[in-house]
Structure 1
Amino acid sequence: MSTHSAPPARHEEQRATAPIRWSKPERGTVVALLIWLAGLLIGSLVPLALLGYDPYQGASNTRIVLGLAFTAVGALVMVFSAYLLYRKTGSIGAAIIAFVPSFVLGVLGLLMTTMKTLYGS
């Protein structure tokens, strides 16, 4: 005799898992993320267009200062967006995830300025 019983018959109505219900993001969260993305684009693409991607390529002091200014503005926009995200969601984790890249962008702006000033020809 077998100790295993026959599997129960499956009915068409039975489900193995509950249906997935996708959450819809709130409008304020989407706006905060779009502001963060705009800050990232301002802080990275504008200095890239002004100074070029080669750190050893020279640039005028005016362009270097403008590149650093746009990087700082982009980082500040990203920090503002992180604050909005924190106020909207109440989650400090979301704010930290949005804040850390803005800090990194600011540090990269300082490194860019240093490389262009010291090593640019």
Structure 2
Amino acid sequence: MSAHSAPPVHNEEQRALAPIRWSKPSSGTVVALGVWVVGLAVGALVPMVLLGFDPYQAASGGRVAFGMACTVLGALIMVFSAYLLYRKSGSIGAAILAFVPSFVLVVLGVLMATTKLLYAA
């Protein structure tokens, strides 16, 4: 290309990249996500409301046991939704993204139960 040539003409209709086409989730994916959110609410919000938001506030052993049971139930609901998502999409990445928060929820539930019982003594 010489220094005196005309610059290339760009038409408005030409694009360097293809237009982005957003994928639309299927109804099964939306249901699995809804079940996951329900599991998160059962596993996190119910024990927090039951036991209080302050980690230094003591709670009775029965309330701590019920809160931990709710946490485990919520995590199991989240794992079930991860399985539904894996069966629907066939993507192990989607299932891993759903399994990891359920594991973290159980670990946080164990920490919550430990601190509540330690401050009760």
Name the TM-score, length of structure 2 as normaliser.
Answer: 0.90
Paired AA for residue 55 in structure 2 = P
**Which stretches of structure 1, 4 residues or more, deviate above 6 A after TM superposition?**
none
Post-superposition offset of 1:64: 0.8
Q: Tell whether the 8 Å contact from 1:71 to 1:109 is kept in structure 2 after alignment.
A: yes
Q: 1:111 to 1:19 in 2, by over 3 A?
A: same
Number of residue pairs the alignment of both structures matches = 120
Is 1:34 aligned to 2:34, yes or no? yes
Is 1:19 aligned to 2:27, yes or no? no
Q: Tell whether the 8 Å contact from 2:60 to 2:120 is kept in structure 1 after alignment.
A: no
Hey, what does 1:53 align to over in structure 2? Answer: 53
Q: Tell whether the 8 Å contact from 1:55 to 1:120 is kept in structure 2 after alignment.
A: no
- Which stretch of the first structure deviates more once superposed, 11-20 or 87-96? 11-20
Unaligned 5+ residue runs, structure 1?
A: none
Is 1:105 aligned to 2:105, yes or no? yes
Post-superposition offset of 1:17: 2.8
Q: Quick one: percent identity of the two aligned structures?
A: 68
Paired AA for residue 3 in structure 1 = S
Hey, what does 1:94 align to over in structure 2? Answer: 94
Name the TM-score, length of structure 1 as normaliser.
Answer: 0.90
Post-superposition offset of 1:112: 0.9
Post-superposition offset of 1:54: 1.4
Post-superposition offset of 1:51: 0.5
Hey, what does 2:6 align to over in structure 1? Answer: 6
